[in-house]
Amino acid sequence: MVRIIMTCRNDSIAEIMQTVCPYHPGCLSPEQSWSLFRHYAFGGRDPKEQPRLADMGKQIVRKCSGLPLAVKTIGSLLRYTADEDSWMDVIQSDIWEVDENINEILPALRLSYSRMPAHLKPCFVYCSMFPKDYEFDKDELVRLWMAQGYIQTSRGTRRLEDIGNEYFIDLQRRSFFDSHWSNFKMHDMIHDLAKSIAGNECWAIVDKKLPGVPDEVRHLFTNDAEEFVKSLHSYNFSTLRSLLIWHPSSGFPTVISEIIKNLPLLQTLQFCWERKDEIPDLLDNLKHLCYLRITSNKIEKLSKSICLLYHLQILVLDCENLAELPNGLGNLTNLRNLHITSKKIDKLPKSIYLLYHLQTLVLDGWNLAELPDSLGNLTNLRYLRITSDNIRKVPESVCLLYHLQTLVLDGWNLAELPDSLGNLTNLRYFELHTYCIKRLPGTVCQLRNLQMLVIEGCTRLQEFPSGIGSLTSLHHLQIANRQILCLPAGIGKLTNLRSFLGCYKVQGGIGGVLKGLVNLQTLIISGLRNVVNIEDARDAGLKHKHKLKELFLYWNAIDCKNDPHHDKLLHLEAFSEENKDVPMDEKREEAMLEYLQPHANLQILSIQGYGGSKFPEWVEDPFWVEDPFSFASLKEITVRNCEKIRSLALYIHDSLGNLDAPISKSMLKRRKDCCPMLDICISRSASN
């Protein structure tokens, strides 16, 4: 049976949709409100350590009247403010006394806005231009702020993009943005707040609704181009600064000229073009334009007038049939972000090397055959992403981009990386997708500031460079190529590694590899029978890995190549020094499992192919040992193909099915009689 729960804030909508009586959740209790406020305002700190703030916090909670969003927003506002006067200002604010008959939550939200730093206010209000439930990309929103001049910078070396990213994070911390998968949204109430502040300055044409006084609109979003075309003839939009048109209309190609003629102050323009015809050669009339995004699946050629937009900072061309770029592209000397998506462009214009201020270059050109050597002149580049199945070699000149922080190379036939890759000493993120690469340049090990290394699809890659232990800043290492690589020596030196994913063979011992990797969350160890030295299991230190949630212990080697989740976990396969099968040794395997006791935070445990005749006490009865392995967090236990186990006295905590007694030995013996290999899986029921 499929059940659908619909939430809304309007009783009339609930009455239309209802199949049962609507449920009206009440406000939070004082205790619930305080718990929520404490979480956001104090973080992990104990309020008892700051009794004055705790008392004032409880007064603030009472003013929020049990409304969760108000509690969350005010709590987020005060999280980074330990000044008692600031907390008292919130309590004594006149905004609480404002008569809000329509929406009682707005006073709390207005208070949060009023205490927002001045540089964040226009960025927040600008978001009211988008319709409710609109999902936006963080980087795209920052670029829109840049185009409007909202991002303040001093004469220092800090980039606008980095400052804008800080603005966004600050607004998110204050609970004005919520994560939604890989994008972000504004809560309806937060949107209402932004709209109440913006008035008619920011507007979205939804359901053909225009503001009462269109002349006041400065920033306009519309997914109804036809309605906007009609309004152009009726209203004066000459002061418009932003125009984002998401869908084309039949009459739009003829009216683009009208837009350009009548909107001379535009700083941001986005539109769709659904004709093969060239865009009218009038774009150079938009002297103030800083942001231009064109989406089309038909246009093949751009107007040359685009090269006369001297103030342009961001240019996004999502035009899959665009066959060439104008030669004058190098005239756009203020360009900071260039994004090109096309199936037909096979080369870049020679003048691209003149784009000295370029910070971000994205080339999603499936037909792009080569990169010009002049690419090395773009020395201010911080982000470079190249996607093309026709590129076979990355030019050495790329290694001259000394300020590059992110490099993404995606090409099925890419076979050669430059030997001087180690010159990119500021590189933080390196991602490689290719089938043909057989080796990584040894200079990769010189990237001392590298924090993330992702390699996918490189099925011909057999091993890492031997010096990978030098990448001491590495936080994330992921190899997803459906091949089991030999784990290089020195991997244990990467003590800052928080995420380590992929399938690897380990010769000798696993302890030296795992000892320093304290931040692992999922771990598979197979081939445990090949670990001859049981002290190696002790050295792995699983008992101290408090972040470990899932542990799979396989005594036989298993094939991870066909595992669909191979790129989302760490799989270590142990094999003997002589690369020969090691016979089963009952006592050795019992001692080894004793040493492989995990931390109490474990949620999923699987033991397969174990050759011992009994389990250690931490598995059978966790309450009999001095340092008990608690099942409080455990959700699932799997015991499979353990041939010598005749019975299992497994105590389960009441959080796992409300059982606090051993599973019947006689029951397990009967299962053993019916099935020669004990196969048991116990998991917490859905109701629990």
In DSSP notation, 519-542 reads T-SEEEEE-GGG---THHHHHT-G
* Per-residue model confidence (pLDDT) at position 658: 36
Local structure of 648: helix, strand or coil:
coil
CA distances from 345 to 204, 299, 337 (A): 35, 12, 18
Of 497, 494, 490, the closest CA to residue 476 belongs to 497
Q: Is 226 exposed, middle or buried (0-12, 13-18, 19+ CB in 10 A)?
A: middle
Q: Which two tokens stand for residue 509?
A: 């011992």
pLDDT at 19 over 60: yes
pLDDT at 317: 96
The per-residue pLDDT for range 128-174, each reduced to its tens digit, is: 999 988 999 999 999 999 999 999 887 667 889 999 999 999 999 88
List, for residues 556-594, the tens digit of each pLDDT value: 877 666 665 555 678 888 876 554 566 778 888 999 999
pLDDT number for residue 307: 93
Summarised one tens digit per residue, pLDDT across range 75-103 is 888 887 888 888 988 888 766 665 444 45
pLDDT score, position 656: 40
Position 247 pLDDT exceeds 90: no
Would you say 210 and 229 are in contact if contact means Cβ atoms under 8 Å apart?
no
Q: What is the pLDDT of residue 433?
A: 92
Give per-residue burial for 420-435: e unless 16+ CB within 10 Å, then b.
Answer: ebbbbeebbbbbbbbb
pLDDT in tens, 412-465: 899 989 999 999 999 999 999 998 888 889 999 999 999 999 998 888 887 788
pLDDT at 417: 93
Task: Decide which of 684 and 461 is more confident.
Answer: 461
Residue 296's DSSP bridge partners are 319
pLDDT at 155: 66
Most confident segment among 283-287, 334-338, 490-494, 684-688: 334-338
Tell me the residue type at 437. I
Give mean pLDDT, residues 117-134. 94
The CA angle 33-37-42, to the nearest 5 degrees, is: 150
In this predicted structure, what is the pLDDT of residue 674?
37
Residue 675 pLDDT > 70: no
532 against 646, higher pLDDT: 532
Query: In the structure, what pLDDT confidence band is assigned to residue 345 with cuts at 50, 70 and 90?
Result: very high
Question: 10 Å Cβ neighbour count for 535?
Answer: 12
Query: What local confidence, expressed as pLDDT, does residue 9 receive?
Result: 61
569 with 612: CB under 8 angstroms? no
Share of the chain above pLDDT 70, in %: 81
Helix (H, G, I), strand (E, B) or coil at 543: helix
Burial class for 388, CB neighbours closer than 10 Å (0-12, 13-18, 19+): buried
Q: Which residue has the tokens 């474990």?
A: 602
27 vs 108: CA distance, rounded Å: 15
Integer Cα distance of 629 and 226 in angstroms: 66
- Rounded to whole angstroms, the Cα distance separating 2 from 685 reads 19
Confidence of residue 400 (pLDDT cuts 50, 70, 90): very high
Average pLDDT over residues 209-236: 75
| pLDDT at residue 183, rounded to an integer | 92
Mean pLDDT of 613-638: 68
pLDDT of residue 386: 95
Residue 366 has pLDDT above 90, yes or no: no
C-alpha 73/C-alpha 642 separation (Å) is 53
User: What phi and psi values does residue 328 have, to the nearest 5 degrees?
Assistant: -85, 15
pLDDT at 654 over 70: no
Arithmetic mean of pLDDT over the chain:
82
CA distances from 306 to 241, 317, 552 (A): 18, 12, 58
At 54-64, the pLDDT tens digits run 999 999 888 88
Could you identify the residue written with the tokens 């607004």?
171
Q: Please compute the mean of the pLDDT values over residues 109-131 and round it to a whole number.
A: 92
488, 509 contact by CB (below 8 A): no
Residue 223 pairs in a beta bridge with: none
pLDDT of amino acid 343:
92
Q: How confident is the model at residue 508 (pLDDT cuts 50, 70, 90)?
A: low
